[in-house]
Amino acid sequence: MAPEPPLLSMSGITKSFPGVRALDGVDLDVQAGEVHCLLGQNGAGKSTLIKVLAGAHQPDTGTIRWRGEEVTLRSPIAAMRLGIATIYQELDLVEHMSVAENVHLGHEPTAAGFVVRGRAAREATAGLLKRLGHPEIDPARLVGELSAAQQQIVSMARALSHDVRLIVMDEPSAALDPDEVDNLFRIVGDLTADGVAVVYISHRLEEIRRIGDRVTVLKDGRAVAVGLPAKSTPTREVVSLMTGRNVEYVFPERPSSAPETAPVLTVEKLSRQGEFEPLDLQVRAGEIVGLAGLVGSGRSEILETVYGARRPDTGRVLVDGKPLKPGSVRAAVRAGVGLAPEERKAQALLMLESVTRNVSVSSMSRFSRAGWIDRGAELGAARAATRELSLRPDNPDVPVRTLSGGNQQKAVLARWLLRGCRVLLLDEPTRGVDVGARAELYAVVRRLADEGLAVLLVSSEVPEVLGLADRVLVLREGRVVHTAPARELDEHRVLDLVMEGSPAS
Amino acid sequence: MTQPVSPPRDDRTGKVPPAGQAPAWRAVWSRADVRTLSLLGVLAVLVLIGGITKPDQFLDTRNLQLVLTQASVIGVVTVGMTFVITSGGIDLSVGAIVALASVWATTVATQEYGFGGILFTSIAVGVGCGLVNGVLIAYGGMVPFIATLAMLASARGLALQITEGRTQVVTVPSVLDLGERDAYVLGVPPLVLVFGVVTVIGWLLLNRTTFGRRTVAVGGNAEAARLAGIDVRRQRLYLYLLSGLCCGIAAFLLIVLSGSGQNTNGNLYELDAIAAAIIGGTLLTGGRGTIVGSVLGVLIFTTITNIFALNNLQSDVQQIAKGAIIVAAVLVQRRTASTT
């Protein structure tokens, strides 16, 4: 250890929740000016650790030293006073307040006890935004009007408005496009050059390689590796530390020949003003069609319109040749279309309910007579569907909120499997799913396709679209700029297309 | 036909061990059971207090019959309210609907149709008001708080207009007979039987039917329910209809109980029903509801009122005690929620 005490040193941190030991003697030390990456699967204890660091959770045992002195972080305010700021994955901004008000929330500039509105706060905010490379954000605008990426910048500006020595970033790149990620990395570089330490959490190993200095890997509440060199540790070693087994980022085999069946899903001239231009596509049984594009290219909007959650301006959607009633989710579900939406917790899951009830919710008529539910049949069917997808734990009575991201996604897939759907719409299926569980999810999706489902896949991760889909439609600003079999494309080519596009007309 | 539950693979999920092992007490009782038991405990303490302070009067059969009868009217309303709150809504108009239904059903013109006329009118007015609430909320996109607040004001106004402030005495003997001791079944007043039946049906509806599942799903996550293919708007309409129906039934019970219809009937029922549902364990934010808890909540409140009345304490003291109980119940629930 360096003679200079580390900026932050946590040792032997233990934290238990009822029934769960979330942290079990974790050590972490962070030097000033370094990017310290925190890796681990969902449920490994990352969130709990950063909440301890943010003062939101109190550890049961263990010590925290700040510049060599033992401290107790009794509350988020105590952590903030020391100079620890946290940027959570779910941004904690007040939508109905302006950018400047959000940045100064909790430490508003005051005069004689009154909040001073206006110029001073706005100017300070503008300065911070400029430092963050986003001078175009108007401090007077309401946060609710900003894009997700801009909101993240505001969140960072708020962190910097304190005299911050350590910033914790929880998956900051999850909602960002590649160019915004570049900007994020530039900001991280500037911060560390100023001697600020960054604790960076991400699922994306390549990011950690790009900006990380050291890596700490958590698994099942323990630190299985502390302070590994981020750039030189082989990926395979990091992944095997996280998962406890050697996992490659593997995609399942494609069938040797494309199926020559009639299309199950047909989309004709579907469009929505300002979101995406008239789109035609067909998906056959057994086929996975991928939509690749940046955030804002209309990907999710297309899926939701196909599903009837948004009403199209023009065009129609056909399943097995029969047109669906436009703008009706129920018509789509009845015709055999299922959606696994991007925001699983907000759009798909009943978080208070058990896995069984989450799986059966779209097929209740199958277990009921005159509205009366046969709970034995329901449980049996839910168990069969979740077993088929190897959902863990193998007990459909557990609350769905206790599952990891990958298993929550399986619960959503099991819902549509049970429903017996023909068309599966997948929006960012591996968002929030850790590396180890992804390969398994890919295999599940391919198997469902092999069993005759038509799958339409949206993902912002180009390798995922290329690895999983049979055919890829590249989107840029709501328009399809290229269509090709996945094996004829590579990541570089797709990125070129989504960034530059080739003017089609 | 169900397969046996496999043993826990992962004790971090905190799931219940399979039967046959010796599980910790915490695993045996789910959180809901703990809450129900604690409510029963509170009720037992109240009965004890009543028995000690007024041993002769409180435990008298007539007094217990009275307590249960009083609980029946607000209890039926609370069952409907529980559904609405479970779905993430609120119905502030229940007291006003009870008032309107009770006066509409006791006008001279209605009473000419006898028992059936009074019963039918009570329920029709309740369902009609529920329909208006439901359409405004489900298809008009109004916030439940505002729509039912408007209904509260209008229904009370209409009730006053019908009665012109007078008490409408019921002259139909068959209705009045229902409240007499001769009509008691094995010592149980018919009103209490109606309450019991409504409770059982409500419990079955919430826990054993697709209607109940949809209610919970809409309350837990309306967007997820919609994207899972549930007709959220129609479900909301049905829920306010159900609440209106319960108000109509309660109005009829109140007519039997008081032998009259008054525009001041059902005063502050909305608060009592919401309070009973909340202390019973129904989440005000929706997604979780318990009929048993609501009924226990009603019994607790009614018992307190009775004990206070027997001890000649004024209603202002009662109100303060009720407020304190609501706060205490919610605090206790938060504790049990975080420790189980």
Of B6, B10, B224, the CB nearest to A347: B224
Whole-number Cα distances in Å, B87 to B92, B129, B208, B233: 15, 19, 16, 11
Mean pLDDT of B210-214: 96
* B17 CB within 8 Å of a chain A CB: no
The mean pLDDT value for A362-367 works out to: 91
CA A17 to chain centroid, in Å, comes to: 24
Q: Is residue B293 part of a domain?
A: yes
Q: How far is A331 from chain B (nearest CA, A)?
A: 8
The ipTM, to two decimals, is 0.82
Find the closest chain B residue to A16 by CA distance. B12
Which helix (H) or strand (E) element contains residue A255?
none
Query: Chain A residues with CB inside 8 Å of B211's CB?
Result: 371
> How many beta carbons lie within 10 A of that of residue A86, not counting itself?
22
Give the integer Cα–Cα distance in Å for B199 and B206.
10
Residue of A nearest to B2 (CA): A380
Average pLDDT over residues A443-450: 92
DSSP state of B59: T
* Chain B touched by A330 (CB under 8 Å): yes
Which residue among A18, A349, A357 places its CB closest to the CB of B340? A18
Whether B210 and chain A come into contact, CB under 8 Å, resolves to: yes
Q: Is the pLDDT assigned to residue B14 strictly greater than 90?
A: no
User: B208 in contact with A at a CB cutoff of 8 Å?
Assistant: yes
Q: Give the pLDDT score at A77.
A: 85
Tell me, yes or no, if B12 comes closer than 8 A to chain A by beta carbon.
yes
The tokens for B161 are: 């207009």
Q: Do B227 and A376 touch (CB under 8 A)?
A: no
Q: What is the mean pLDDT of the segment spanning A195-206?
A: 84
The distance of A324 to chain B (nearest Cα, Å) reads 14
Q: Determine, yes or no, domain membership for B49.
A: no
Q: How many domains does chain B have?
A: 1
Could you list the residue range(s) of the whole structural domain that residue B271 is in? 55-338
Q: Residue A431 above 90 pLDDT?
A: no
B221 touches chain A (CB under 8 A): yes
Tell whether B335 lies on the interface with A, counting CB pairs under 8 A: no
pLDDT band at B11 (very low <50, low <70, confident <90, very high): very low
User: Contact A383/B288, CB-based, under 8 Å?
Assistant: no
Q: Which site among B16, B206, B211, B227 would you substitute to test the A interface, given the most A Cβ atoms closer than 10 Å to its Cβ?
A: B227
Residue B9 has pLDDT above 70, yes or no: no
Confidence band, pLDDT 50/70/90 cuts, at residue A274: confident
> Who among B14, B210, B230 is closest to A402 (CB)?
B14
For the entire predicted model, the pTM comes to 0.76
**How many CB atoms neighbour CB A253 within 10 A?**
9
Interface list for B 228-247 with A (CB within 8 A): 228-231
Q: Considering chain A, what percentage of its residues have pLDDT values greater than 90?
A: 42
Number of H helices, E strands in chain A: 16, 24
Element (H, E) at A461: none
Inter-chain CB proximity A395 and B5 less than 8 Å? yes
Rounded mean pLDDT, A91-108: 81
The mean-pLDDT minimum among A250-259, A386-395, B242-251 falls in A250-259
For range A460-473, the mean pLDDT: 87
Query: Are the beta carbons of A361 and B6 separated by less than 8 Å?
Result: no
Residue B93 in contact with residue B84, Cβ under 8 Å?
no
Where is average pLDDT lowest: A118-127, A460-469, A496-505, B155-164? A496-505
For residue B110, being part of any structural domain is answered with: yes
Q: Does residue B282 sit within a domain?
A: yes
Q: How would residue B258 be classed by pLDDT, with cut points 50, 70 and 90?
A: very high
Asked if A397 and B15 come within 8 Å (Cβ–Cβ), the reply is yes
Q: Does B24 touch chain A if contact means CB atoms closer than 8 Å?
A: no
Q: Does B10 touch chain A (CB under 8 A)?
A: yes
| Mean pLDDT (whole number) for A245-251 | 56
Between A5 and B218, whose confidence is greater?
Answer: B218
CB atoms B3 and A329 under 8 Å: no
Q: CB distance from A346 to chain B under 8 Å? A: yes
What integer pLDDT is reported at residue B202 of this predicted model?
97
pLDDT of residue A503: 43
Say whether A350 and B224 touch across the interface (CB within 8 A): yes
Closest among B323, B328, B336, B300 to B41, alpha carbons compared: B300
pLDDT at residue B197 greater than cutoff 60: yes
User: Cβ contacts (< 8 Å) between B15 and chain A: which residues?
Assistant: 393, 395, 397-398, 402
H runs (alpha helix) in chain B: 25-28, 31-53, 55-58, 61-86, 94-104, 108-111, 114-134, 144-163, 173-177, 190-208, 210-220, 222-227, 232-258, 269-280, 291-310, 315-339
Distance CA A414, CA B295 (A): 36
Residue B18 lies in a domain: no
Close Cβ partners of B264 (under 8 Å, ≥ 6 residues apart): B99
What are the respective helix, strand and coil percentages of chain A, to the nearest 5?
35, 25, 40
Q: Residue B231: which CATH number?
A: 1.10.3470
Structure tokens at B28: 């045996």
The answer, yes or no, to whether residue B329 has pLDDT greater than 70, is yes
Strands A197-201 and A454-459: unpaired
Residue B6 lies in a domain: no
Query: pLDDT value at position B190?
Result: 94
Q: What is the mean pLDDT of chain B?
A: 88
User: Quick check: B138 pLDDT over 50?
Assistant: yes
Q: How sure is the predictor about A316, in pLDDT bands with cuts at 50, 70 and 90? A: very high
Q: What is the mean pLDDT of residues A273-297?
A: 88
Whole-number average pLDDT of chain A: 86
CB A332 within 8 A of CB A307: yes
CB-based contact (8 Å) between B5 and chain A?
yes
| Structural domain includes residue B50 | no
pLDDT for A134 beyond 80: yes
HSE, side-chain direction, 13 A CA sphere, residue A75 = 3
Torsion sign, CA atoms A199, A205, A209, A211: negative
Question: Is there a domain that residue B128 lies in?
Answer: yes
Buried b (16+ CB within 10 A) or exposed e, A42-71: bbbbbbbbbbbbbbbbebeebebbbeeeeb
How many other CB atoms sit within 10 Å of the CB of residue B334?
Answer: 10
Q: How close does chain A come to B215, measured CA to CA in Å?
A: 11
Which chain B positions have a beta carbon within 8 Å of A218's beta carbon?
none
pLDDT digits (tens, 9 = 90+) for A63-98: 999 998 999 988 888 888 899 988 887 667 888 888
Taking the Cβ of residue B153 and every Cβ of chain A, the question of whether any pair is shorter than 8 Å is answered with no
Q: Which two tokens stand for residue B251?
A: 């109005």
Q: Is the pLDDT reported for residue A120 higher than 60?
A: yes
Q: Name the residue with tokens 């401290």.
A: A71
